[in-house]
Amino acid sequence: MDYYSNVEETAALIRGKVGTPHVAIVLGSGLGDFANTLRDATAWSYGDLPHWPASNVIGHEGRLVIGTLAGRHIAALSGRAHFYEGHDLRTVTFATRVIGRLGVKVLILTNAAGGVNVKLKPGTLMVMDDHINLLGSNPLVGPNEDRFGLRFPDMSEVYSKRLRAAADETARDQDLPIAHGIYVAVHGPSYETPAEIRFLRTIGADAVGMSTVPEAIVARHMGVEVLGISCITNAAAGVLPQPLNHEEVMAVARQVRGRFAALLEGIIGRL
């Protein structure tokens, strides 16, 4: 079977069990507990879904949960596949393709990110206004599948103004401080050097991570509306005189999960 057929097979299985969700949410490192807030849920391990790539990174549970929240039918992806794990970008974005073929119209992408902008302290929630792709490739490279989308999709508004406004309104209602900024995706898995962070700051990046951008590109290729939210879990290399580690990322993500969940539920309630 070809890639499109694999996507269709997986989408058909999910649709046959639970129908079409209104919104899908990809949960980044340490943020997967949000999936447990869905009610009347049906869950699959990624390993139980045909062709779905495994998620083998600590903090990525590897589970698709579909249930209800704020009166909406929600799909929560607890974990994702990463480019740095050795997957090609078509594999990395397989789940996004399935979401699009399910008929989902809104995709919320979340991640743990390093703060390049020194004003972004650990624990800050940042709405992504745009991104810079420094992965060295693009998930649309290769023959175009017209049933997914156009050969040359427009990327002038990857992250929906409407959804960013909904995030701002929700934050105001909850008296929750949030930031806005530009996210840059790098290959990883090593953290960046201080010199690289100075370069990223110079080209306009506010936060840096190793995911999200391929998913956003593919979602827009399929006409899905996208919102991106970064949890700033650490100051980037060179900002503070201390080494970086994944345990710190996980610890900060756990600290903000209450605010993160409240923000997501409020946004979903506004859609």
| pLDDT score of 176 more than 60 | yes
Q: How far apart are CA 168 and CA 176, in angstroms?
A: 9
126 as an active site residue: the answer is no
- The predicted pLDDT at position 134 comes to 98
**Residue 245 bears catalytic tag:** no
Residue 211 near residue 237, CB atoms below 8 Å: no
Catalytic residue among 55, 78, 211, 230: 211
pLDDT of residue 70: 87
Give mean pLDDT, residues 194-204.
96
168 pLDDT above the threshold of 90: yes
pTM strictly above 0.85: yes
Domain that holds residue 251: 3-270
191 counts as catalytic: no
Catalytic residue among 246, 250, 251, 265: 246
pLDDT at 127: 98
Top pLDDT among 36 and 67 is at 67
Give the tens place of pLDDT for each residue, 49-100.
Answer: 999 998 776 555 789 999 999 889 999 999 899 999 999 999 999 999 999 9
Kindly name the residue from 4, 8, 36, 84 that is annotated as catalytic. Answer: 84
Residue 258 pLDDT: 86
Q: What is the pLDDT of residues 118-165, one digit of tens each?
A: 999 999 999 999 999 999 999 999 999 999 999 999 999 999 999 999
Mean pLDDT of 187-198: 93
In this structure, what CATH number is given to the domain that contains residue 114? 3.40.50.1580
Number of domains observed in the structure of the chain: 1
Q: Where are the alpha helices (DSSP H) in 140-234?
A: 161-174, 194-202, 213-221
* Long-range pairs, 201-204, Cβ under 8 A, ≥24: 201/116, 201/117, 203/132, 204/132
Q: Does the annotation count 128 as an active-site position?
A: no
Say which of 81, 112, 126, 236 is annotated catalytic.
112
The predicted pLDDT at position 241 comes to: 58
Verify whether residue 45 is a known catalytic residue. Answer: no
Structure tokens at 245: 């580690």
Question: Which of 24, 35, 55, 60 is labelled catalytic?
Answer: 60
Percent of the chain at pLDDT exceeding 70: 93
Q: What is the pLDDT of residue 237?
A: 59
Catalytic residue at 46? Answer: no
Active site (annotated) includes residue 210 = yes
Residue 234 known to be catalytic: yes
Q: Is pLDDT at 212 greater than 80 in this prediction?
A: yes
112 is catalytic: yes
Does the annotation mark 192 as catalytic? no
Q: Where are the alpha helices (DSSP H) in 19-160?
A: 89-92, 94-102
